[in-house]
Structure 1
Amino acid sequence: MSQSERVSFGTADYVLLAVMLSGSMAIGLFFAFSNRNQKTKVDYLLGGRQMSALPVCLSLFATFQSAIAILGIPTEMYTYGTMYIYNIASMFLSYLVGIYTVIPLLYPLKLTSVYEYLAMRYESRAVQLFGAVIGVISSLSYMTVALLAPALALETAVGVPLWLSIILVGAVGTIYTTLGGIKSVIWTDVFQSFFIFVGMFTVLIKGSIDVGGPKEVWRIGKETGRIVLDEVDLDPRVRHTVWNLSFGAFFYWLSTHFSQSSVQRVVSIKSKRDAYKVFVFAIPIIAIFNLVLDATGLVLVAYFHESRCDPLAAGYIQNKNQLVPYFVIHTLKTLPGLSGLYISTIFSGALSTLSSGINSLAANTVEDFLSRFLRNKSESIVTTTTKVFVGIFGIAVIGLAYLAKEFQGPVTQITYTSLGATNGPLLGLFILGATFPQANFIGALVGCSTGLATSLWMAIGSVAFGHPAKTLPPGPTDSCNTDYIKSWNTDDYASNWTTGASSLMRNITANLNVSKPADLTSFPAVTKESLSVTLQPPSVSESDGRHFSLYDVSYVWNPLIGVLITVLIGLATSLVTNQFLARKALPEAKLLFPFSRHFMHSRVYALEKNDDELKDMTNY
């Protein structure tokens, strides 16, 4: 079947999609009616603090490895190559560090909202509210992209209008989360994780068979310039290197462990020992997940080169984020039901992120913003109020996702950019307070404000004024139906493959000596004798010799920059203002990271403590 022919869902595809959606709804209804004694806030938001390690681990996996990753990572491989694989190292490191920081610091505090820690540590409600506002904005941004992704997928697969897809997924997730609380969220995540892994492995195996096996996938990947694993350039403008993905991205992933969605699950576990297991179990699960998606991206490259019809270059699709679902429905077209299985995989990732997010936002609302108003209210009123806000946030995310329907950039980079600008300074706020006993509320507010302003300035500036990284050339189109091939000029093509002003066509003509855009339809065949060196675009630092600009710094560094500015400015401000504060209360040792508790002897900060008090605190 030609790629120009429309591939439609069959009965089996609709059945599998319906099973996933109805199954998720059924789990929500089950916990809503089987736990009618779920009358307290702790029961509804934390499962009575009696959850087990494995379900929580799968829930965290499904929340943060969402539809964004399922769609975005293969597209990343296709557009920019395999350097992104080093992101696995930063994830691995973040979980190891989380074992020694997040769990021993936050689990014993029995929090409902992670931002309660900020109020306890800095003895300031202003810091708590400031952190909560940043966290809410960050969560809304993440959920918006995660909900939009499957809508794009379904629009590509079966032509369902984008608005209908957004409402369908958003409504299902909102309803079962509102009814069932955190137990519903966690157990639907477990159910959805099954769809995610089965769908991913099915597409990888079937796609690899279609193009001739792993060796052929690797060969085409090498010859088209996709397989690059040795980029060690120290230029911070290079989009992906071993250094920025292994170290810079670490701070992005560490920030997710200090998010409300993550901490709310950690503190819902019945024992501290089980909480450690969550992080340990997560490492191999996430590593396998990412490796499968990386391999899927290479299979996608091989498939379009072997079929000699790149759907984006041919104009069959208009958005690069639709490459994966387009590939899936064509490679699985001969196996009834499997296209529906993979679309269910994407929906599962989106539903998990949405349900976790709106549940967490409701927890922030009642605990951080309305705690004083609800302080003397009955548990039933507090729980009902929480459910109302779950529904409100669900509706809000549906609206935001629809408004964001036109975005063209790679979903992985968009997520890193938008979240990194907020998560970096917020992580810095926790690191500042948990590492340095000298830090005070003035330093926290000044440092985080400065870090946030800088991160937002860099993120917005990079989109508005930065030079986008060069993308790899698309596949051939000589076997496409020429009646469908899009008529475009150089600037049209660039806008389809980049998010800024640089022209990919100029990159292609410079590297391949192609004189006209029309030559795209006559790409040379990919053979074992093909030369891949001409297909590899130069890095930013090699290509144009322009002056250094902060707007061109890789998006991967943004979270680290936010952390450093927040911590350094916050600590300096604290050390200065401590001299003018009448009360220099030493923070409790339990509010510091374990490795920082020996700093309790700080002569700078503990001026009013006698030796006995210091000894008691350090032996906490």
Structure 2
Amino acid sequence: MSFTDDRVVFRAADYVMLGVMLLGSMGIGLYFAFSGVSQRTKVDYLLGGRRLKALPVCLSLFASFMSAISLIGIPTEIYSYGTMYVYCLIGQGFSYILAMFTLVPLFYPLRLTSVYEYLNMRFKSRTVQLIGASFGVMSTLSYMTVALLSPALALETAVGIPLWLSIVLVGAIGTIYTTLGGMKSVIWTDVFQAFVIYVGIFTVIIKGTMDAGGFGKVWQINKETGRIVFDDISIDPRVRHTIWNLSLGMSFYWLANHFSQTSVQRLVSTRSIEDANKVYLFTCPLVLAFVAVLSLTGLVLVAYFQQLGCDPLAAGYVKNKNQIVPYFVIHTLSFFPGLAGLYISTIFSGALSTLSSGINSLAANTVQDFLPWFLRYRSEAVVTTVTKTLVCFFGITSTGLAYLAKDFEGPVIQVGFTAVSATNGPLLGLFLLAGLFPQANYVGAVVGFASSLVFSYCNAIGSLRFGYSTKMLPMGPTDRCGSGNASSMTVTPGYTFTTTDDVNGSSELTMSTTLRNMQEMDALGLPQRDFSLYDISYVLAPVIGTILTIVIGLTASFISNHLFSKTTTPEAKFLFPFCRRLWYSDRDVLDTELKFRDQTPGCGKLTAS
């Protein structure tokens, strides 16, 4: 392999490939807007008439959650910190199993439009519903902002696509087809985008592995550079990634995603409860394979630049590590016109899917949670028009927020996870409090959620600003970089220079005699200072938020029930099925199950004997 002084460039054929993907997404959306598909009611527009099949909904859910953040962030995580991140697969897989035993049997029979309607039904309190919906909207907006901005920032420096152009293209196209086509447009464009994503990542990994000398060489190089690490079993909560905190933290994080509006809205749009179960059953292996392939892409990336003799981050070709993935893609796929554009299309596809799903769910929340009093006596045509207007409004808002946050830096996986977990952890605790414990009341729900939320936000902000910065692994060599673009950094035999990025994006240059000595000097990556909550691994944030909500919520519920001598027991149907026999009589449970089977599509009609 050889290297040139010229930066990699996005060529005309690559722009054509990207244009084909964008036009394809737009075309699908316009088809459902003007093909005569019924969108006369709110249910048709937001839920596809509750007649969608499992497979397209599965692919849509996959495309929505496997965003551009993952496409850029996971390979960068492996490049920066090694392979411990792959233990997230345990937590992700477990969360899908839990979703099948909690979400599906609880939410599907209730025929919800907004997931936060359940909070009103369960606690008989509009206040709890509004609080949950408000912070759910904030969480979705935060996630969409990072999902739109992170690829735009990476593409701007790495391949020369202007930041404003990336944000506006994704924002405008996603907003237009979602506004016009509703849920069916979102679902079927997600199917198309899921196909683009998988084709793109497999193209890169095959070509990159070949260029690096085969999988055996890839593994050997990564082992020599200290990136093959699977044995960190520390129980210290300050260690960034261990087997335990990744398995536990990702279980809570992804279960919180399953309880989000984006996920539940797809769940209840299927034809039957069997199809709803299939959605999670089919999505799980897709997601696990996707994360595994992206992790392998990170290993290929490391080996490729090692073999090339020029690490673009060490040489200064890219400004921060989030730009290294698109740089690698353009470089390794430049041998054939259009292939680089195919992979960049996967990044745009991930951002488009996240945006379209997000603004559709935000419109559903607004109509169902915040405006029911205003729309109660309006015609279906008016309600549908208002909903479309809201979709357009949230699309424009998300685009604007992404551009305003253009100074964002830092590892996108960690920053995105932290921003979302600050809200999603307490929200998950609120739903678990409602579904697990009939003793919980609206007072406990409000107090528990508010207390956990304050703690989670304070801790998230503190960890981003004051938390300990884990050192990156050593970057690759620069001895074969072109002199015209190489930085002033020199690599002296016996020494390794590394750039350490903290979570705020600041950098400092550190030096150690060898990788072994560096690891001995900073054993387990622990901070050399007194214990601080800000140093706790970011992956534990949703666990802490969830537990705080439940513990404080139950305590406040018991106290309020005792003070006011007023205990109300919710109907059995508002608890998770596996909890009903614990708290209710067999007859109450049987009546609830028989009633649900009679009323729920896909279940056989039964009658009590």
Q: Shared fold by TM > 0.5?
A: yes
Distance 1:453 1:19 in 2: 45
Distance 2:519 2:29 in 1: 49
- AA in 2 matched with 1:567: I
1:531-584 per-residue CA deviation (whole Å, 9 max, x = no partner) reads: x63464765756554211100000000000000000000001101111234653
2:64 matched residue in structure 1: 63
1:113 matched residue in structure 2: 114
1:311-362 per-residue CA deviation (whole Å, 9 max, x = no partner) reads: 1121111121110000000001111110000000111111000000000000
1:235 matched residue in structure 2: 236
2:563 matched residue in structure 1: 580
1:176 matched residue in structure 2: 177
- AA in 1 matched with 2:431: F
Q: How does 1:397-436 map to 2 (within 5 A)?
A: 397-436=398-437
Deviation at 1:158, TM superposition (A): 3.9
Distance 2:153 2:588 in 1: 60
Q: Residues 470 and 537 of structure 1 are in contact (CA less than 8 Å); yes or no, is this contact kept in structure 2?
A: no
SS at match of 2:151: helix
1:592 matched residue in structure 2: 575
Q: What's the TM-score, normalizing by structure 1?
A: 0.91
Identity of aligned residues (%): 60
Q: How does 1:11-160 map to 2 (within 5 A)?
A: 11-35=12-36, 37-160=38-161
Q: Residues 409 and 498 of structure 1 are in contact (CA less than 8 Å); yes or no, is this contact kept in structure 2?
A: yes
Q: How does 1:321-340 map to 2 (within 5 A)?
A: 321-340=322-341
1:245 matched residue in structure 2: 246
1:282-306 per-residue CA deviation (whole Å, 9 max, x = no partner) reads: 1211111111100000000011111
- AA in 1 matched with 2:536: V
Deviation at 1:453, TM superposition (A): 0.8
SS at match of 1:101: helix
1:183-226 per-residue CA deviation (whole Å, 9 max, x = no partner) reads: 00000000001110000000000000001000110011001011
Distance 1:501 1:403 in 2: 17
1:190 aligns with 2:191: yes
Deviation at 1:255, TM superposition (A): 0.2
2:317 matched residue in structure 1: 316
- AA in 2 matched with 1:43: D
1:205 matched residue in structure 2: 206
2:394 matched residue in structure 1: 393
Distance 2:131 2:542 in 1: 18
- AA in 2 matched with 1:575: F
1:238-271 per-residue CA deviation (whole Å, 9 max, x = no partner) reads: 0000000111221000000000000000000000
Distance 1:4 1:137 in 2: 45
- AA in 2 matched with 1:307: L
Deviation at 1:412, TM superposition (A): 0.7
Q: Classify 1:157/1:613 alpha carbon distance in 2 versus 1 (closer, same or farther; 3 Å).
A: closer
- AA in 2 matched with 1:465: F
1:521 matched residue in structure 2: none
Q: How does 1:449-528 map to 2 (within 5 A)?
A: 449-487=450-488, 497-499=501-503, 505-506=509-510, 509-512=511-514
Distance 2:523 2:420 in 1: 24
Distance 2:513 2:504 in 1: 20
- AA in 1 matched with 2:203: T
SS at match of 1:546: coil
Higher mean alpha-carbon deviation, 389-398 vs 472-481, is at 472-481
Deviation at 1:8, TM superposition (A): 2.4
Higher mean alpha-carbon deviation, 577-586 vs 304-313, is at 577-586
Distance 1:618 1:583 in 2: 28
- AA in 1 matched with 2:411: P
Higher mean alpha-carbon deviation, 430-439 vs 406-415, is at 406-415
Distance 2:406 2:37 in 1: 39
Instruction: In structure 1, list runs of 5 or more residues that go unmatched.
Output: 513-531, 603-610
Runs of 4+ in 1 over 6 A off after TM superposition: 493-496, 611-615, 617-620
Q: Residues 472 and 537 of structure 1 are in contact (CA less than 8 Å); yes or no, is this contact kept in structure 2?
A: no
Q: How does 1:266-305 map to 2 (within 5 A)?
A: 266-305=267-306
- AA in 2 matched with 1:246: S
Q: Residues 68 and 145 of structure 1 are in contact (CA less than 8 Å); yes or no, is this contact kept in structure 2?
A: yes
1:550 matched residue in structure 2: 533
Distance 2:423 2:95 in 1: 18
Q: Residues 426 and 563 of structure 1 are in contact (CA less than 8 Å); yes or no, is this contact kept in structure 2?
A: yes
Distance 1:579 1:559 in 2: 30
Q: Classify 1:614/1:364 alpha carbon distance in 2 versus 1 (closer, same or farther; 3 Å).
A: closer
Deviation at 1:9, TM superposition (A): 2.6
Distance 2:168 2:207 in 1: 31
Q: Residues 437 and 599 of structure 1 are in contact (CA less than 8 Å); yes or no, is this contact kept in structure 2?
A: no
Q: Residues 495 and 501 of structure 1 are in contact (CA less than 8 Å); yes or no, is this contact kept in structure 2?
A: no
SS at match of 1:505: strand
1:88-145 per-residue CA deviation (whole Å, 9 max, x = no partner) reads: 1100000001010010010111000000000000100000000001101100011111
SS at match of 1:17: helix
Distance 1:555 1:157 in 2: 28
Deviation at 1:616, TM superposition (A): 5.8
1:562 matched residue in structure 2: 545
Q: Residues 68 and 411 of structure 1 are in contact (CA less than 8 Å); yes or no, is this contact kept in structure 2?
A: yes
1:608 matched residue in structure 2: none
What value does the CA root-mean-square deviation take over the aligned residues?
Answer: 2.1
- AA in 2 matched with 1:510: S
Q: Residues 238 and 540 of structure 1 are in contact (CA less than 8 Å); yes or no, is this contact kept in structure 2?
A: no
1:527 matched residue in structure 2: none
Q: Residues 167 and 398 of structure 1 are in contact (CA less than 8 Å); yes or no, is this contact kept in structure 2?
A: yes
SS at match of 1:383: helix
Distance 1:564 1:209 in 2: 47
Distance 2:525 2:404 in 1: 38
- AA in 2 matched with 1:392: F
Distance 1:239 1:210 in 2: 32
SS at match of 2:563: coil
Distance 2:212 2:125 in 1: 60
Deviation at 1:11, TM superposition (A): 3.2
Q: Residues 270 and 276 of structure 2 are in contact (CA less than 8 Å); yes or no, is this contact kept in structure 1?
A: yes
Deviation at 1:595, TM superposition (A): 1.3
Distance 1:429 1:3 in 2: 56
- AA in 2 matched with 1:497: D
SS at match of 1:578: helix
Q: Classify 1:544/1:12 alpha carbon distance in 2 versus 1 (closer, same or farther; 3 Å).
A: closer
Instruction: In structure 2, list runs of 5 or more residues that go unmatched.
Output: 491-496, 596-609
2:606 matched residue in structure 1: none
Q: Residues 41 and 381 of structure 2 are in contact (CA less than 8 Å); yes or no, is this contact kept in structure 1?
A: yes
Higher mean alpha-carbon deviation, 144-153 vs 229-238, is at 144-153
Deviation at 1:469, TM superposition (A): 1.1
1:446-474 per-residue CA deviation (whole Å, 9 max, x = no partner) reads: 00001111111111111111111111111
Distance 1:501 1:158 in 2: 20
Q: Classify 1:221/1:55 alpha carbon distance in 2 versus 1 (closer, same or farther; 3 Å).
A: same
Q: Residues 41 and 379 of structure 1 are in contact (CA less than 8 Å); yes or no, is this contact kept in structure 2?
A: yes
Q: Classify 1:541/1:535 alpha carbon distance in 2 versus 1 (closer, same or farther; 3 Å).
A: closer
- AA in 2 matched with 1:558: A
Deviation at 1:389, TM superposition (A): 0.7
Distance 2:441 2:266 in 1: 28
Deviation at 1:487, TM superposition (A): 4.6
1:134-185 per-residue CA deviation (whole Å, 9 max, x = no partner) reads: 1011000111111113323432454221111110111000000000000000
Higher mean alpha-carbon deviation, 160-169 vs 59-68, is at 160-169
Distance 1:28 1:502 in 2: 41
Q: Residues 410 and 503 of structure 2 are in contact (CA less than 8 Å); yes or no, is this contact kept in structure 1?
A: yes
Deviation at 1:418, TM superposition (A): 0.4
Q: Residues 114 and 261 of structure 2 are in contact (CA less than 8 Å); yes or no, is this contact kept in structure 1?
A: yes
